[in-house]
Amino acid sequence: MSKNQREHIALITGTSNGIGLALTRKMLSENWQVVALNRSDFPAEDRFLQNHLKDGRIRAYKVKDLTDYGSLRHALEEIKSKEQRIDILFNNAGGGLSELRYSKQGRELHYELLTVVPYIILMELKELLNNGSLKTVINTSSQVFRFIKEFTIEKLEHPKTFRKMYGPYAASKLALSLWTQAIAPQLAMEGIKIRSVDPGINNTLRKGKDSGLTAGFELFMKFFSSPPTHGANLLYEGALGKNSNETGVFLFKDRIADLKFAEHAQRVLEKVSDIYSHEFLGGNVQR
């Protein structure tokens, strides 16, 4: 482990591939240390990352399933027992599905993974953030939610219909940005800034892996979208660039953008806070 206490530390979720992997490489190239929370291992053939795993500049923690509260709790407790501080938390882990699925807690899986889990991770690691110097949280969102025509909490948890990309995925990303906006004043009292950032359209397709995309969009992504380094750069700029003094905002193409259904922001925050308090902290995990 590096002994340089002046080096900044970023905790990044979902770093074993795609944008999270590219962001990890970028942070390391900028002389940061990276705490990684992943389901999968880093690529064995990537000598750059493997060397930094050996020298301690990357410290990797495994979680079997982010949406399984028992598994998530175990991983977060390990991080809290071994790490002393975090300067930036990147809630980046995500993914799309091609069918309606539910978590062990009984909620639609996109909502659990993309909306609820980032809140839990923030709450659990807030003390480490307070021990850091930059005290910044970046939630990876998506401007795909601009296509949403209606929004309710009930449909987030138990949607009656399913559409790839524009259904539960888009609604869950919107909900993430909404609670990000709503919680900002509360976090500001502790000196913590929080923003949600759209990383743009990046080719994160993996062979044999369900992308959750429509066929047409998957084709577009394959041939015309940017490499994951593009998204990593936008997340990096969202954390450390020209908007670094802003809090509660949604950044699209590195500019502050309005959120749809902002009137629901406080209600979304109350809902995820209630889930955290009564289910995660209370251990009331349905089986």
Dihedral class, residue 229 (left if φ above 0, else alpha if ψ from -120 to 50, else beta): alpha
158 has pLDDT over 80: yes
Say what the pLDDT of residue 2 is.
42
pLDDT at 285: 44
Q: At what angle do helices 18-29 and 228-240 cross, to 10 degrees?
A: 60
| Nearest CA-CA partner of 187 in 40, 53, 89 | 89
pLDDT for the residue 1: 39
What does the alpha-carbon distance between residue 142 and residue 115 come to, in Å, rounded to a whole number?
12
* Coil, helix or strand at residue 89: strand
Q: Residue 217: pLDDT band by 50, 70, 90 thresholds?
A: low
Residue 106: other Cβ atoms inside 10 A: 12
Q: Is the pLDDT of residue 159 over 70?
A: yes
The CA distances from residue 153 to 40, 107, 134, 247, in Å, are: 31, 11, 32, 24
pLDDT one-digit tens code per residue, 24-57 = 999 999 999 999 999 999 999 999 999 999 999 9
Q: Decide: helix, strand or coil at residue 68.
A: coil
CB–CB of 99/162 below 8 Å? yes
The confidence score (pLDDT) of residue 229 equals: 93
- Rounded mean pLDDT of the chain? 91
pLDDT of residue 213: 60
10, 90 Cβ separation under 8 angstroms: yes
pLDDT for residue 150 is more than 80: yes
pLDDT confidence band for 5 (50 / 70 / 90): low
User: Does residue 137 contact residue 192 with C-beta atoms inside 8 Å?
Assistant: yes
- Give the residue, 204 or 279, on which the prediction is more confident: 279
End-to-end CA gap in the chain? 39
pLDDT greater at residue 267 or residue 206 = 267
Domain ranges across the chain: 9-280
> In the block, which residue shows the tokens 């530390």?
9
Of 34, 33, 38, the residue nearest 14 (C-alpha): 38
- Confidence check: pLDDT of 221 > 80: no
- The architecture (CATH level 2) of 9-280 comes to 3-Layer(aba) Sandwich (3.40)
Q: Please say whether the dihedral angle defined by the alpha carbons of residues 119, 121, 126 and 127, taken in this order, is positive or negative.
A: positive
Strand order in the sheet with 255-257: 58-62, 33-38, 9-13, 88-91, 136-140, 193-198, 250-252, 255-257
